[in-house]
Every structure is written in structure tokens, then in C-alpha cells.
Copies of this chain bind each other. A is one copy, B any other.
């Protein structure tokens, strides 16, 4: 949505194009050099931050809706994108948090009675992981701000979004034991130290040295290259890359990595 006219049409007639009573929310995690961040947005009619999200077009799958949302905010495609949980507690959304009177000006409405956006909404949570240094954050007409926050110092979030972040982190960390998810967060060629640091940062804890990398090698997911990196006198660790074919298969079927 780029224009006021589109925004108005969405509020008034969105249920013709989108499924009512259902939304998606996306926890986009960003990794770079041993730092983990989370992308947050601030809606133009709200004072606090929240996860980016939106509605599902009647013609698209849930993951297509999530991909569209992530692409819209980060400019990136083909991220590792997974459902983590669906949220549906009664009263999970307090509509009084929206400064809805501002919308009256845009829409010409004088009451929200019967408006499709104001009914009970359950939300399907997706998480994505990417290298935050490669993203170009973007807003649209409904969003005032969009920014990366350190995972350890998030601002207060709207609705049940703090719970969503907790659950997204929990599921992402569990998935680390079953899916290879480094492809978007490491350079094409990397050292075992680099992938070890990635796992430690995502898990938020120290690991036995090269626990994960060793298992990835044993499963054939990492290829040892002849090339080395020179990082100082007498220190030139081997470089590795992901085996794309096995990586894709493991993403589909899952594995046991611990």
C-alpha cells in the first residue's frame, strides 16, 4: 500500500481481497558478526513498536503472505521462513490501542461497528533469519518507522507481540537442532569458527567447541574447500561452504544435529 486511496480501500473493503479474522506476524531475526537483532515497525497510528505483519490475500498461501511481508520490509527474498506458532487468545488485540479516530479522517467512517478489521483476529507467527547488514528497511503508507533492535534490549511491544518474540526465539532455537539455517547469514565461504559463532549467537549460549560444525560435516552438509584464510602468522584455517543439494534436502526433511 503506497497511497492514501489504497489504504482507505483496505480499511473499508479489505475483506473482499483478504481473509477476515486472520493475520500473519513476522519475527525477522538479523545476524551479523555475532550480534542478533530483531526487526520492528511502528504503525502510523500507534505509539509503540510491534512485529511487522499483515493480512492474507484470498489467493495466496500463508507462507506466500509471510514472504510478501518480509520482502516488503527487507527487500529480501528466499529467506529461511518458518511458522512458529499461531496466536488466538481472546482479547489478544486491544483495539483501543489504535488511534482509530485518525482513520476516520481517511476513511470517512464515523463508526467501526461491523468493520472487518475490528473483529476477533488470530495471527499465524512466522520467523525468518537473515544477515541484517544486507537488508534495506522499507516502510509503506501504514507504517511510520522500521528499525533493527538488539535482541537483548527490545522496546515494549504492542498486543501479544512480546510473547510472540519469546515463542519465535524458542522455536528458532529448537529448529537449529534440526535444520541447517546458516545460508543467508554467512559469507559463501566461511571458517568453522564463524559458523560456530553463528550457532552460539542464535542459541544465546556457549557451546562445546565445534559441536554443530562437526555434525554438519559428518552429515555432508559442509564441504571443506582447499582454500584457506590467512588470519595471522601460522594461522590459516580452512574454508568451508554449504553443500547446496544436501542443504535443500535437509531443510525439507529435517535432521538431528545435536
Contacts of A119 in B (CB 8 A): 19-20
Assess A86 versus B124: contact at CB under 8 Å? Given A21-B19, A21-B21, A22-B22.
Answer: yes
Q: A187 at the A/B interface (Cβ < 8 Å)?
A: no
Name the segment of A58-66, A97-105, A234-242 touching the other chain. A58-66
Stoichiometry, as copies per complex, reads: 2
Mark A161-203 against chain B: 1 for CB-CB distance below 8 A, else 0: 0000000001000100110000000000000000000000000
Which chain A residues (80-137) contact chain B, with CB distance < 8 Å? 83, 85-90, 119-120, 122, 124
Cβ A22 vs Cβ B122 within 8 A: yes
Q: A2 at the A/B interface (Cβ < 8 Å)?
A: no
Contacts of A155 in B (CB 8 A): none
Among B20, B87, B90, B124, point to the contact of A21 (Cβ < 8 A).
B20
Among B21, B85, B88, point to the contact of A61 (Cβ < 8 A).
B88
Cβ A60 vs Cβ B90 within 8 A: yes
Among B60, B62, B85, B120, point to the contact of A83 (Cβ < 8 A).
B85
State A148–B40 Cα separation when bound (angstroms). 46
Among B22, B62, B88, point to the contact of A62 (Cβ < 8 A).
B88
Assess A19 versus B120: contact at CB under 8 Å? Given A86-B62, A258-B256.
Answer: yes
State A90–B19 Cα separation when bound (angstroms). 10
Contacts of A62 in B (CB 8 A): 86-89, 122
Contacts of A124 in B (CB 8 A): 86, 88, 122
State A59–B124 Cα separation when bound (angstroms). 19
Among B22, B61, B86, point to the contact of A90 (Cβ < 8 A).
B61
Q: A75 at the A/B interface (Cβ < 8 Å)?
A: no
Please name 26 pairs of A and B residues whose Cβ atoms are closer than 8 Å in the assembled complex, sorted by A. A19-B21, A19-B119, A19-B120, A19-B122, A20-B20, A20-B119, A21-B22, A22-B22, A22-B122, A56-B88, A59-B90, A61-B89, A61-B90, A62-B86, A62-B87, A62-B88, A62-B89, A83-B85, A83-B86, A86-B86, A86-B124, A88-B124, A174-B174, A174-B178, A174-B254, A177-B178
- The residues of A with any CB-CB pair to B shorter than 8 Å are 19-22, 56, 58-62, 83, 85-90, 119-120, 122, 124, 170, 174, 177-178, 254, 256, 258
> In the complex, given contacts A122-B124, A170-B254, A177-B178, what are 5 additional A-B residue pairs having Cβ atoms less than 8 angstroms apart?
A19-B120, A21-B21, A58-B90, A86-B124, A256-B258
Sorted from nearest, which 3 A-B pairs have the closest CB atoms?
Answer: A62-B88, A21-B21, A86-B86
